[in-house]
Amino acid sequence: MSSTARTSMSSLPGSVDPQRDKEVRLSVEQVSYAYSASPSQAPLFTVEATSFQARPGEIVGILGPNASGKSTLLRLIAGALAPLSGRVLLNGFPTHTLTPRIRAQRIAMVQQESRLLFPARAREFVLQGRHAHSRALRFESPEDTVIAGNALAQVGAEHLSDRWMDQISGGEKQRVILARALAQQPLLLLLDEPTLHLDIAAQVDLLDTLRKLASQNRYTVVIVTHELNLAAEYADQVVLLQRGKSLRVGPPASVYQRELLEQVFQTPVTVELGSSGRPRVNVLPGS
């Protein structure tokens, strides 16, 4: 069930075992990015060379303080940004060179918030995920309807099908948004702080659903999150970022070192082993 996570070392060119490479789905290779207001100015924001690999069924957590480049790294993986150097390969293809349509057939993104201008029912909302798969005039086929229905069922939200999106709770809404991503039938599922506005029960619920989906449907999942303990519990490997630099990549146990976390998050913490065998971080207030 649990897959071995690898460190950034194994993704360096030349060190990859071709037999094992076959099952690597997502390969982030020395990716960097720089954003500046104008070409003549120094970059306002950079992501330095970052590498990791993920296989089908694996969950990767991207961690770091605010403005550490988590969302930028996620957008680089999604192919929405072109890397300055390095590349992101999904089944061997660089993600940012794919057309938007092909990209949406392979990569689904769940953003922090989905604003809606006009009311839509959950069922219609999930059908949006079929856009990249539909034909020219894009009227949904019965097949699309079945896939959308299955997607809602997989996240346990079939009862919400006919509800209006602006009349359901935050946790329910996040499930429907996840269902829309599943309706894209992607290989890679990206989530940008999906638990941000959820209460604890809804957070655990969502992550349980994600873990079940990852192992059953063999999605590769990448989650950007601030929740260190949830990441420790659910991620197979984590990427720890600070000011655009990836400090450590690996299974939570190897990344969750007290000194490292204190230095990155600028807060005194203790790290202990939780009952699940995963590390647990406690914040020490006022010390």
Write out the residues near another protein by the rule CB under 8 A. 78, 80, 99-101, 103-105, 107-109, 111, 114-121, 123-124, 127-129, 131-132, 134, 137-140, 145, 162, 180, 184
**Nearest residue (CB) to another protein, 74 versus 249:** 74
Nearer to another protein, 85 or 141 (CB): 141
Residue type, 68: S
Residue whose CB is less far from another protein, 13 or 118:
118
Instruction: Identify which of residues 125 and 256 has a Cβ nearer to another protein in the complex.
Output: 125
Q: How far apart are CA 280 and CA 100, in angstroms?
A: 39
* Rounded least distance, CB 268 to another protein, Å: 35
C-alpha separations of 66 from 163, 196, 264 in Å: 35, 13, 11
* Cβ at position 85, least distance to another protein in Å: 23
Q: Where does the chain have alpha helices with state H?
A: 18-21, 70-78, 100-106, 122-127, 142-154, 170-183, 200-217, 228-234, 252-255, 258-265
What minimum distance in Å lies between the beta carbon of 195 and another protein? 19
The region that residue 156 occupies, defined by phi over 0 for left and psi between -120 and 50 for alpha, beta otherwise, is left
Beta-carbon count within 10 A of 118 CB: 5
Contact by Cβ (8 Å): 152, 126: yes
Q: Given the complex with another protein, which of 3 and 91 has the nearer CB atom?
A: 91
Task: Give me the least distance between CB of 15 and another protein, in Å please.
Answer: 32
Shortest approach of another protein to residue 131 CB, angstroms? Answer: 5
∠ Cα 192 197 198 (to 5°): 105
Question: Assign residue 235 a region: left if phi > 0, alpha if psi is -120 to 50, beta otherwise?
Answer: beta
* Residue (145 or 229) nearer to another protein, CB: 145
Cβ 100 to another protein shortest distance, Å: 5
